[in-house]
Structure 1
Amino acid sequence: MRRTPKESSDSWRRISRRALLLGGAQLGFAGMLGLRMHHMQVDQADEFRLLAEENRINMRLIPPSRGRIFDRKGKIIAENTPTYRITIVREDAGDVEDVISKLSALVELDEDELNRALAEMRRSAPFLPITIADRVSWESISRVAVNAPALPGVTPEVGLSRFYPQHGNFAHVVGYVGPVSERDLARYEDPEPVLRIPRFQIGKVGVEAKYEEQLRGKAGAKRVEVNAVGRVMRELDRREGDNGADIQLTIDADLQDYVQARLGHESASCVIMDVEKGDLLAIASAPSFDPNKFVRGISVADYAILRDNNHRPLASKTVQDAYPPGSTFKMVTALAALEAGILSPDDTVWCPGHMEVGSRRFHCWKRTGHGHLTLEQALQQSCDVFFYDVALKVGIDKMADMGHRLGLGVPPDVPMSAVTSGIMPSKEWKQRERGKGWLLGDTVNASIGQGFVLASPLQQAIMTARLASGRAIHPRLIKTIDGVETEIVGGEELDINPNHLRYVRKGMSAVMNSNRGTGYRSRVVSAGYELAGKSGTSQVRNRVVANDEVPWEERDHALFVAYGPIAAPKIAVSIVVEHGGGGSSAAAPIARDVALQALYGGTPPLDAYPSSDHEKIREQQERLDRERLERAEQARGRA
């Protein structure tokens, strides 16, 4: 049906209005879009350019090179060595199990390390490299490189790793590093970003832990270009960080090596201290362990061997353990009595072999008694009854005061782990710690270093150094930090009458140089190198049977302290042999040998020993030289 002209005109008018409305709406939308685009591209250009740049450019941390540790002569103790490792990127590898299977045919993979790597891979982004084998040989790296086309995602790399070339000699002093754990991070209120780098290592114990911040250094940074999913495309620039500070110890590595060899297979400890500055020349615990095993994470089997050893190789016995000092404490009792004015060097005490205190009998080590003794003779022969008698007159509180002045009951300020303060008991201490009053029997026991009295081998070395010098010597373990000498602390005169110190030193000299002295068999005969000392035997438990009739762990501890040369003291020595028996038989010979090694700066001549000992000492020196050489060769092989 044809439309009339009027109907056609009305239809066009309606269409024109709709077109106009639609066109206007479209034009308005286009205008709004244009204004928005202008606002974003012009007005907000700088803001969006910054956002785009931040998405494209990432900052990555560069781990700093850890500071090295040296001995007093510059011999390296802890260093960073180049090591080869193999990494894998999960998304590039595709079938990870297949790639690892092929890799294991070329390189021996440690099962524990592989499991750790797989666990880390599951937690990490698929494009991040994961270390699957560390410290591999150059031959292994070469095989991987040659077979690279068949190993997608696998890359051989070169890095730095902590290494301890002295192996067990410094394990208890320097300690070791290990991967950062959640417990480590929890110690920091605001952990540095570098601590979150995968497998970044920090000090766990010893000097490595105590000087962590100085040794760690400051991380560097690099700018890398990444794509939308965060994969690195290229490196734009880098800023190297600050390497950690180098630290030099006061310890002589050669002397430390000798001490470890001389302690042998005993459960023992030794401290050699410079009497002038307080420098620790050697501080050794035996047996020891190889700290290199802890750097990458020790295996369960290796750790079990160390943990279950009844000689406790993991314990830092020189500072961590405290023992009843036994008769090495008698100098404290003597000085307290001399200073209190209740004893003079000419006074005598009668020793019938025991003393009755109340209803209890306290025996002397010599059951038949020593008879009448002066102070010098009592120290020389280590008479117990003499010191029972003077201790009851002077009292425990004055003995405790003297012990504190000589360094007992005070934690030594050294950067080692688990440093004990020991115990120097008093009436107030027992009431506070045990909730009981002090008894006369407690004083008797304390007078000979038993009962509540406990001291570490380092504290006994400090005591001996103070007796020898008359000054408040403090131990120093760190010689320099980045070449800057550390402060020597203390050294002021002790508040003790010098004459009283001379009386005690005379008794200590008689111990080793009088034929009735308990340490006479371990004397030094070389003129100018004579030693003064004191033996000690501390009971592990009350018993009446001989040491060789009970199990090893129930035997007495053997102790010996010494200083020398007598005329001008240079060193102080402290020895503890756990369950070794008598101090004069087990500890004194070791004290003499290590003291001579320190004074001569190497193997002493046979003439320093009594002629009757020459053959035995010659054989011992040859054996120790062989053992040290073999250990050094084994260390080079492991390196």
Structure 2
Amino acid sequence: MRRPGRENGESQRRISRRALMLGGAQAAVVAALGLRMRYMQVEEAKQYRMLADENRINIRLIPPARGLIFDRNGILLAGNEQNYSVVIVREDAGDVPAVLNKLSELIPLSQDDIDRTLKEIKRRSPFVPITVADRLSWDDLARVAVNAPALPGVSPAVGLSRHYPLDKDFAHVVGYVGPVSERDLQRQEDPDPLLQIPKFQIGKVGVEAKEETILRGKAGTKRIEVNAVGRVMRELDRTESTPGSNVQLTIDAALQNYVQARLAGESASAVVMDVQTGALVAIGSAPSFDPNKFVRGISSKDYNALMQNDHRPLLDKAVTGTYPPGSTFKIVSALAALHAGKLDPQETIYCPGYVELGGRRFHCWKHGGHGKVDLQRSLAESCDVYYYEVAQRVGIEAISAMADSLGLGIRHDLPLSGIASGLNPTKKWKQQRRHSDWLIGDTLNAAIGQGYVLSSPLQLAVMAARVATGRAVEPRLIQSIDGIDQTAGAVPALDLAAGALSGVRQGMFGVVNGRHGTARSARIDLDNLRMAGKTGTSQVRNITAAERARGVIRNEDLPWNRRDHALFVCYAPFDAPRYSVSVVIEHGSSSHNAAVIARDIMLQALYGKLPPLTAYPAHQRKKIEEEQKALQLRQLAPQAPARSRA
């Protein structure tokens, strides 16, 4: 049956409307897709390009070359040597244990090395390169490079590692570097990204630690393209790292070597200071150790040997060790009394060998006493009774204040680890620390450098320098940074009368050059190089009344660790001072032992080489000649700094 024409027309109109609506909807969808595609491809092109690139481009840090350390003459003390290593990146490696097992077939890699690497990988971000092995040979590195396609995420690396060419001579001064530890990171408020690089080396002790910021330098970056398995395809661009600054010390490497050689066999320290500038030209501590072992990772056997050594080689005795200064402290007591107007240099005090105070006897080192003693003789012959009287006149507060002004009991600002403050005791200190009142006997003991008084060899050298010049000279260790001089400005004069200093200096001259001086055997036998000094012996044990009654046991008959410490401080030449020297020998028994070492060091400093035998007393020259031949001294050649920012 055929439909009427009117119905057919209506049906076609409905179809046309639906077709138009459907077509409009399709057009709208296509338009929306087009607009979205335009937005993504044009408006957001940069963002999506970056996201795409991050899937195939890595950014890695370029460690900087660590700054070099030189002595005052340009001799290299801490340098960098080439180091071949292999690193692995977790996100590129896939099955890390399997890759490490393959790697162990190519280079020496123990199970401990593998376990350590796996542990380190878990602690670090997946994109951080982890050092699997370092200090490899060139052959080992070449094998890794050739087999790179079979080792995803593994790549050979060539970097720098610290090296100390003069090893033991500068172990305590320069210090050493080592891998960053968790403790190192915890001490940093805003850690440098470089510190996140496994096995990145930072200073641990000494100048290396204290000048870490300027020695480290700044990291560079490089963008590299990697393939699907993480293999590096090419380097896209890089920003070079900034090397650390070069540091030049005031230390003279040749003199430092002599000091270490001269102290060999002792548990001792010595400090040599330029009295005019405060420059420290030698800081010796014996015995020493090889810092290169710590850089490479010291073995348990070697570390335990250092820790168990009763001479404590890891301790920098020159700045960290503190000792009762013994009779060297009489310089302080004398100046305190003279400054306070409580003592006339020409006045004599009678010494019968002891004084009685509060029912107790305070003995002089000379059993029979010195008789009548004035200031110069009290220093030259080191009379204790004279200073017992001085102590009662001036009191502990004035003595402590004078010690402060001479540089004792002060933590001097130097880039060294563990600098000790020492101790100049006062009444207030004892009340706060010992919860007891100060006694007059405490003052008598302090006046001769015993009791609570403690000083470091560094402080004793500063004291001698200040007495020699009459100025508040400060010790310094840094000569220049990248060629820029670090010399301090003018040094103020001490608040002391010239007459007071003159009297003490003459007494110190008598110590070494007087007929009955306690260090006469350590004199310099040249008029233009005469030395002034002061001996000291500090007890490490109590001597009871019963022992005194039956006879004090000689140091030589005591165990080593119960013998007295031996000390000596000096400066020379007497008429035009250039250097001060302090020497402390732990359990060295007699101050004579410290005095002869100090004399030898002083002559080496003054001449800049082994001195002529004519500088020594005639009867000692043959023995001195033999000692000089036995010394193991280095032949050193200066090396110019690699760069300068001056």
- TM-score, structure 2 normalization: 0.88
Structure 1 residues 147, 620: closer, same or farther in 2, change over 3 A? Answer: farther
Hey, what's the Cα distance between the residues in 2 that align with 1:344 and 1:380? 17
Contact 2:129–2:198, Cα closer than 8 Å, also in 1: no
5 Å-filtered alignment, 1:26-175, equals 29-53=29-53, 57-88=57-88, 108-109=108-109, 115-123=115-123, 129-138=129-138, 140-141=140-141, 155-175=155-175
Aligned to 2:640: none
Structure 1 residues 376, 132: closer, same or farther in 2, change over 3 A? Answer: same
Aligned to 1:542: 542
Deviations 1:207-229 (A, max 9, x none): 11111111112222223335688
Hey, what's the Cα distance between the residues in 2 that align with 1:466 and 1:268? 23
5 Å-filtered alignment, 1:203-282, equals 203-226=203-226, 232-282=232-282
Contact 1:112–1:299, Cα closer than 8 Å, also in 2: no
Contact 2:570–2:581, Cα closer than 8 Å, also in 1: yes
Aligned to 1:575: 583
Are positions 1:560 and 2:560 aligned together?
A: no
Hey, what's the Cα distance between the residues in 2 that align with 1:28 and 1:531? 104
Contact 1:114–1:133, Cα closer than 8 Å, also in 2: no
By how many angstroms is 1:428 displaced?
A: 2.4
Hey, what's the Cα distance between the residues in 1 that align with 2:403 and 2:268? 24
User: What is the one-letter code of the residue matched to 1:207?
Assistant: V
Choose the corresponding residue for 2:595, options 569, 588, 593.
588
User: What is the one-letter code of the residue matched to 2:577?
Assistant: P
Are positions 1:606 and 2:640 aligned together?
A: no
SS at match of 1:173: coil
Aligned to 2:321: 321
Hey, what's the Cα distance between the residues in 1 that align with 2:223 and 2:100? 32
User: What is the one-letter code of the residue matched to 1:580?
Assistant: G
Hey, what's the Cα distance between the residues in 2 that align with 1:24 and 1:489? 88
Hey, what's the Cα distance between the residues in 2 that align with 1:319 and 1:503? 29
Hey, what's the Cα distance between the residues in 1 that align with 2:18 and 2:207? 87
Contact 2:152–2:229, Cα closer than 8 Å, also in 1: no
Aligned to 2:643: none
Hey, what's the Cα distance between the residues in 1 that align with 2:388 and 2:404? 20
Contact 1:474–1:489, Cα closer than 8 Å, also in 2: no
Are positions 1:394 and 2:394 aligned together?
A: yes
SS at match of 1:442: helix
Hey, what's the Cα distance between the residues in 2 that align with 1:88 and 1:226? 14
Hey, what's the Cα distance between the residues in 1 that align with 2:56 and 2:140? 37
Hey, what's the Cα distance between the residues in 2 that align with 1:157 and 1:356? 76
5 Å-filtered alignment, 1:459-538, equals 459-489=459-489, 491-538=491-538
By how many angstroms is 1:157 displaced?
A: 3.4
User: What is the one-letter code of the residue matched to 1:592?
Assistant: R
Aligned to 1:636: none
Hey, what's the Cα distance between the residues in 1 that align with 2:11 and 2:49? 53
5 Å-filtered alignment, 1:371-386, equals 371-386=371-386
Deviations 1:268-293 (A, max 9, x none): 11000001101000001111111112
Hey, what's the Cα distance between the residues in 2 that align with 1:320 and 1:270? 12
Structure 1 residues 82, 378: closer, same or farther in 2, change over 3 A? Answer: same
Deviations 1:452-495 (A, max 9, x none): 11111000000000011111110010000110111325522111
Hey, what's the Cα distance between the residues in 2 that align with 1:228 and 1:156? 19
Deviations 1:572-607 (A, max 9, x none): 0000111111212x2111101111111110111111
Gaps of 5+ in 2: 548-552, 638-646
Structure 1 residues 306, 46: closer, same or farther in 2, change over 3 A? Answer: same
What value does the CA root-mean-square deviation take over the aligned residues? Answer: 3.1
SS at match of 2:366: coil
Structure 1 residues 363, 257: closer, same or farther in 2, change over 3 A? Answer: same
User: What is the one-letter code of the residue matched to 1:547?
Assistant: N
Structure 1 residues 567, 128: closer, same or farther in 2, change over 3 A? Answer: closer
Hey, what's the Cα distance between the residues in 2 that align with 1:502 and 1:139? 70
Of the structure 1 ranges 41-50 and 237-246, higher mean CA displacement relative to structure 2 is found in 41-50
Deviations 1:141-193 (A, max 9, x none): 46666787897876543211111111111111111112222222222322222
Contact 1:472–1:490, Cα closer than 8 Å, also in 2: no
Aligned to 1:429: 429
Of the structure 1 ranges 51-60 and 573-582, higher mean CA displacement relative to structure 2 is found in 51-60
Are positions 1:452 and 2:459 aligned together?
A: no
Contact 2:104–2:110, Cα closer than 8 Å, also in 1: no
Are positions 1:618 and 2:625 aligned together?
A: yes
User: What is the one-letter code of the residue matched to 2:416?
Assistant: M
Hey, what's the Cα distance between the residues in 2 that align with 1:39 and 1:599? 81
Structure 1 residues 127, 438: closer, same or farther in 2, change over 3 A? Answer: closer
By how many angstroms is 1:238 displaced?
A: 1.2
Hey, what's the Cα distance between the residues in 1 that align with 2:173 and 2:468? 25
Hey, what's the Cα distance between the residues in 2 that align with 1:247 and 1:426? 40
SS at match of 1:413: coil
Of the structure 1 ranges 143-152 and 503-512, higher mean CA displacement relative to structure 2 is found in 143-152
Hey, what's the Cα distance between the residues in 1 that align with 2:127 and 2:342? 81
Contact 2:254–2:634, Cα closer than 8 Å, also in 1: no
Contact 1:59–1:223, Cα closer than 8 Å, also in 2: yes
Contact 2:65–2:243, Cα closer than 8 Å, also in 1: yes
Of the structure 1 ranges 403-412 and 30-39, higher mean CA displacement relative to structure 2 is found in 30-39
Hey, what's the Cα distance between the residues in 2 that align with 1:14 and 1:145? 75
Structure 1 residues 230, 186: closer, same or farther in 2, change over 3 A? Answer: farther
SS at match of 2:372: strand
By how many angstroms is 1:552 displaced?
A: 1.6
By how many angstroms is 1:513 displaced?
A: 0.9
By how many angstroms is 1:132 displaced?
A: 2.7
Deviations 1:509-530 (A, max 9, x none): 1111123111011111123122
By how many angstroms is 1:12 displaced?
A: 12
User: What is the one-letter code of the residue matched to 2:600?
Assistant: D
Of the structure 1 ranges 160-169 and 83-92, higher mean CA displacement relative to structure 2 is found in 83-92
SS at match of 2:199: coil
Contact 1:178–1:204, Cα closer than 8 Å, also in 2: yes
SS at match of 1:417: coil
Contact 1:69–1:247, Cα closer than 8 Å, also in 2: yes
Of the structure 1 ranges 274-283 and 112-121, higher mean CA displacement relative to structure 2 is found in 112-121
Deviations 1:104-128 (A, max 9, x none): 6775557765543342245457786
Hey, what's the Cα distance between the residues in 2 that align with 1:490 and 1:449? 31
Structure 1 residues 150, 36: closer, same or farther in 2, change over 3 A? Answer: closer
Aligned to 1:353: 353
By how many angstroms is 1:301 displaced?
A: 2.5
SS at match of 1:376: helix
Contact 2:569–2:583, Cα closer than 8 Å, also in 1: yes
Hey, what's the Cα distance between the residues in 2 that align with 1:211 and 1:127? 30
Contact 2:87–2:157, Cα closer than 8 Å, also in 1: yes
Identity %: 59
SS at match of 2:265: coil
Contact 1:288–1:313, Cα closer than 8 Å, also in 2: yes
Gaps of 5+ in 1: 633-639
User: What is the one-letter code of the residue matched to 2:81?
Assistant: T
User: What is the one-letter code of the residue matched to 1:561?
Assistant: V
By how many angstroms is 1:94 displaced?
A: 8.1
